[in-house]
Amino acid sequence: MEPIGTIEWQKEYESGIEEIDQQHKDIINTLNEIYFAIENREFQGKLSELLDAFDFYVTIHLNTEENYAEKYDFPKIIELKESHEYLRSTYKHLQFIHKGSEKECISRIPYIFHLHSVMREWLGYHLVTLDKELFDFLREKLKE
Ligand SMILES: [Fe+2]
């Protein structure tokens, strides 16, 4: 059982494409580390580093998916990009929010946890809906 606030890799998240699965795992691991950094009130150093790492992994990953979707004409590409944009704007917002002083961050903890849980819920949902559709589609295309 995973601690509340984290997300664990599930068999149903597997895409069948190794590169993508590794990217998803890196994203999940970093998101979990972000949760523990918030819980431990490590706002300044640790959380900044983790959010930068998250930005790095997410940027590469969403670009990889969008490139595949474009290359193979995934029918739901607009929906996919809009959904990705939602994640981008949420963590960019979190990056902005946590830049305040230690005191400001502490007063914003419930909101910071809220933004984290939005990202976690987004990921768990996205992996089994739009991502799953994309990878089912791609596996067929890659066979051709
Ligand atoms: Fe994904």
Query: pLDDT category, 3, cuts 50, 70, 90?
Result: confident
Q: Which residue has the higher pLDDT, 45 or 77?
A: 77
Least confident piece of the model among 3-17, 74-88, 125-139: 3-17
Say how many Å lie between the CA of residue 36 and the centre of ligand 1: 22
Q: At what angle do helices 109-128 and 130-143 cross, to 10 degrees?
A: 30
- Global pTM reads 0.92
DSSP annotation of 100 reads S
Backbone torsions φ then ψ of 99, nearest 5 degrees: -80, -5
Q: Which residue has the higher pLDDT, 45 or 127?
A: 127
**CB neighbourhood size of 74 (10 A):** 20
- Distance between CA 27 and CA 40 in Å, rounded? 20
Ion ligand 1: residue ranges with CB closer than 5 A: 131
Helix (H), strand (E) at residue 14: none
Say how many Å lie between the CA of residue 48 and the centre of ligand 1: 23
CA distance to 53, 94, 95, 107, per residue, from 9 (Å):
19, 23, 25, 32
- Is pLDDT at 2 greater than 70 in this prediction? no
Residues 122-142 have a mean pLDDT of 94
Say how many Å lie between the CA of residue 88 and the centre of ligand 1: 12
The confidence score (pLDDT) of residue 68 equals 95
Say how many Å lie between the CA of residue 49 and the centre of ligand 1: 22
Residue 87 and residue 119 in contact, taking contact as beta carbons nearer than 8 Å: yes
**CB neighbourhood size of 78 (10 A):** 10
- How high is the mean pLDDT of the chain? 93
Say how many Å lie between the CA of residue 61 and the centre of ligand 1: 7
User: Which of 126, 60, 43 shows the shortest CA–CA distance to 87?
Assistant: 126
Residue 67, classified by CB atoms within 10 Å of its CB into exposed (0-12), middle (13-18) or buried (19+), is: exposed
Say how many Å lie between the CA of residue 17 and the centre of ligand 1: 11
The confidence score (pLDDT) of residue 1 equals 56
Per-residue pLDDT of 52-108, as tens digits, reads 999 999 999 999 999 999 999 999 999 999 999 999 999 999 988 888 788 888 899
DSSP annotation of 10 reads -
